[in-house]
Structure 1
Amino acid sequence: MERSCVGILLVLIAALASIHIVHAQDQEGFISLDCGLPTYELSPYIEISSGVSFSSDEKFIQSGNSGRTLEMPKGYSKQYKTLRYFPNGTRNCYNLSVDKGRKYLIRTSFLYGNYDGLDIKPIFDLYLGPNLWATIDLETLVNGTRRDILHIPTSNSLQICLVKSGTTTPLISTLELRPMGNGSYITESGSLELQHWYYLNNTGSRIRYANFVFMLCHVLFFCASV
Structure 2
Amino acid sequence: MNVRSFPKGALNCYTLKPEQGKGNKYLIRAFFMYGNYDSKNQLPVFNFIWVKEILHGPKTYYMDVCQVNIGSETPFIAALELRQLDNKNIQAEMIS
For this structure pair, what is the TM-score category when the shorter chain's length is used for normalisation? 0.7 to 0.9
Unaligned 5+ segments in structure 1 are: 1-80, 125-134, 138-144, 189-226
Runs of 4+ in structure 1 deviating by more than 4 angstroms, as ranges, are none
Question: d(CA) in 1 for partners of 2:61 and 2:16?
Answer: 8
1:106 maps to 2:28: yes
| TM-fit CA distance, 1:149 | 1.6
Matches within 5 A, 1:167-178: 167-178=72-83
- 8 Å CA contact 1:123–1:165 kept in 2: the answer is no
Q: 2:43 aligns with which of 110, 118, 121?
A: 121
Question: d(CA) in 1 for partners of 2:42 and 2:76?
Answer: 12
How big is each residue's C-alpha offset from its partner over 1:168-207, in whole Å with a ceiling of 9 and x where there is no partner? 111100011111111123348xxxxxxxxxxxxxxxxxxx
Which protein has greater RCO, CA pairs closer than 8 Å, 6+ apart? 2
Q: TM-score, normalised by structure 2?
A: 0.84
- Match of 2:88, SS state, is coil
- 8 Å CA contact 1:96–1:158 kept in 2: the answer is yes
Question: d(CA) in 2 for partners of 1:120 and 1:163?
Answer: 20
AA matched with 2:37: Y
Alignment RMSD, CA only?
1.7
How big is each residue's C-alpha offset from its partner over 1:36-90, in whole Å with a ceiling of 9 and x where there is no partner? xxxxxxxxxxxxxxxxxxxxxxxxxxxxxxxxxxxxxxxxxxxxx2100010000
Determine what percentage of the aligned residue pairs are the same residue: 42
Where does residue 48 of structure 2 map in the other structure?
Answer: 136
Count of aligned positions: 91
AA matched with 1:168: E
Question: d(CA) in 1 for partners of 2:41 and 2:89?
Answer: 42
Q: 2:16 aligns with which of 86, 96, 120?
A: 96
Q: TM-score, normalised by structure 1?
A: 0.38
Unaligned 5+ segments in structure 2 are: none
Whichever of the two has the greater Rg, that structure is 1
